[in-house]
Amino acid sequence: MNASEFKIELLRNNLTVPELAKMIGMDKATIYSRLRGDSEFKHNEICAIRDALHITDDRLLTIFFA
């Protein structure tokens, strides 16, 4: 997980973590926890983030599977 690249995508979409969390129906504390590396994003969460942030598959790999 590349948290810096994740945050870049948030900036590109003019979103904050709380706004993204609301969009995808996920608790903001859970997103922050995953960004810290406490646990990994689940497949369905990654797909929801991809769709919300309009991330290409290549970019998705860079962010979540670097």
Q: 4 is written with which tokens?
A: 């810096």
Query: Which domains does the chain show, CATH number per domain?
Result: 3-64 (1.10.260.40)
Report the pLDDT value the prediction gives residue 34, as an integer from 0 to 100: 97
**Three-state secondary-structure class, residue 47:** helix
Q: Express each pLDDT in 13-62 by its tens digit.
A: 999 999 999 999 999 999 999 999 999 999 999 999 999 999 999 999 99
Q: 57 is written with which tokens?
A: 């598959």
Report the pLDDT value the prediction gives residue 66, as an integer from 0 to 100: 77
Report the pLDDT value the prediction gives residue 5, as an integer from 0 to 100: 97
CA-to-CA distance for 31 and 12, rounded, in angstroms? 18
